[in-house]
Amino acid sequence: MPHDWVNYKSLRAELSFIDILHHYGAELKERGEQWQGFCPLPTHQGKRNSPSFSANVGKGIWQCFGCGAKGNVIEFATRMERLNPENPDDFRRTALLLQKMFVGKDGGEREVPRPGPKEVTRERSGQEDLDEERPGSVVNAPLDFELQRLDYDHPYLRERGFTDEIIKTFGLGYCERGLMKGRIAIPLHDAKGALIGYAGRIVDEEAIGENTPRYLFPGSRERNGTRHVFRKSAFLYNGFRLENPFQLVVVESFTGVWWLTQAGITNVVALMGASCSEAQAGLLRDLVPEDGSVWVFPDGDTAGKRMAEEALVMLAPHRFVRWVKLPEDKQPTDVKLAELHTLLTALL
């Protein structure tokens, strides 16, 4: 099947309107299936001082009483891309973009560009820059350079109890220059093991602020006329090391993956945040055999609870899935290695 093939009807059935609303930053109030708020459309005419926009997240339809626009999920995304949904070409380009970003199965058929000359990437804030993501962007494609001269002897991770072996296995080095300066560089690999970018964990907690997030994720970069973007929501950290694990543990953070691995529990991936997207749920399904099982192991807080609920809803119809609960405000890394082993191997 060519990579640019798209069936609108089945695509609409597979897309989660909630994921798409989140993706485009639409801030709506949840009221059951009917979500409401200010009109997020760039084409909206008139004032935005009343909640004129409503979306039925179950049916995947929406309308705005202010500007009169309405339509389905793909039409919504087309308008958010500042394209015209009446134009079949624009509509199709948006559908392909959504398929690429949100439908996990497409992962293996993604267009991979030829690497260009060496160039420094523009690592940016963790905020994914929506304006830069036009149809035709390439998502999570291999990187054509590696960060050089990382300091693998930096004390930060060792002081947090990680061994040399873990630091080496995950390629974690401190970066002293460039946009990753002051951060531990965390290499991100796609399912085939190709390096697609780096996340950066800040070392100086006190420096964290509005423009200095704890974690920095790859920004977009231009290569031979093609825009490359990184989508956390279409990626599983550490997924590339695992070959159809019969049991898989899913944690929120990078550190959770390292900690479990250090405890000898190596079948572990991270969602890199407290949410599980449809695309990530698809990747989890692809990874674990049909008779296998998934242990969702989030942090013990409200966000973790929500992540577990999201994951359970999406995975339960397809795989045996279980929620490993931690006490309030505890993270997997707060559990002692030996106890972690007892906690999880009791289930495995």
Residue 67 binds Zn ion, judged by CB under 5 A: yes
Concatenated DSSP letters of 153-219: T-HHHHHTT--HHHHHHTT-EEE-SGGGTTEEEEEEE-TTS-EEEEEEEES-GGG-BTTB-SEE---
To Zn ion, the closest distance from the beta carbon of 39 in angstroms equals 3
CB of 79 to Zn ion, least distance (A): 9
Check: CB of residue 249 under 8 Å from CB of residue 326. no
Residue 173 as a binder of Zn ion (CB under 5 A): the answer is: no
Pick the stretch among 64-72, 115-123, 229-237, 251-259 that binds Zn ion (CB under 5 A): 64-72
Task: Determine, following the binding rule CB under 5 A, whether residue 40 of this chain makes contact with Zn ion.
Answer: no
Size of interface with Zn ion, in residues (CB under 5 A): 6
Q: In this chain, which of 20, 23, 44, 288 binds Zn ion, going by CB under 5 A?
A: 44
Cβ nearer to Zn ion, comparing 44 with 231: 44
Q: How far is the CB of 52 from Zn ion (least distance, A)?
A: 6
55 belongs to the binding site for Zn ion (CB under 5 A):
no
Nearer to Zn ion, 67 or 326 (CB): 67
Q: What single letter denotes the amino acid at residue 344?
A: L
Q: CB-wise, 41 or 80, nearer to Zn ion?
A: 41
Q: How far apart are CA 200 and CA 212, in angstroms?
A: 11
Does 28 contact Zn ion by CB under 5 A?
A: no
Helix pair 88-102, 278-287: axis angle to 10 deg: 50
39 in contact with Zn ion (CB under 5 A): yes
Task: Give me the least distance between CB of 50 and Zn ion, in Å please.
Answer: 10
Q: Smallest distance, Å, CB 61 to Zn ion?
A: 14
Is 64 among the residues that bind Zn ion (CB under 5 A)? Answer: yes
CA distance 69 to 119: 43
Long-range residue pairs from 173-181, CB within 8 A, at least 24 positions apart, any chain: 173/147, 174/150, 174/203, 175/147, 175/150, 175/151, 175/200, 176/149, 176/151, 177/149, 178/120, 178/123, 178/147, 179/122, 179/123, 179/124, 179/216, 180/123, 180/147, 180/216
Q: Are strands 293-296 and 320-323 parallel, antiparallel or unpaired?
A: parallel
DSSP per-residue codes, 110-126? ---PPP-S--------S
In the complex, the smallest distance separating the C-beta of residue 44 from Zn ion, rounded to whole angstroms, is 3
Binding mask 82-101 for Zn ion (x = CB under 5 A): --------------------
Instruction: Tell which one of 40, 60, 66, 197 touches Zn ion (CB under 5 A).
Output: 66
Please report how many Cα atoms fall inside a 13 Å half-sphere around the Cα of residue 158, on the Cβ side: 10
Question: What's the min distance (Å) between Cβ of 132 and Zn ion?
Answer: 23
Nearer to Zn ion, 41 or 103 (CB): 41
Per CB under 5 A, the segment of 60-68, 212-220, 293-301, 335-343 that binds Zn ion is: 60-68
Positions touching Zn ion (CB under 5 A) are 39, 41, 44, 64, 66-67
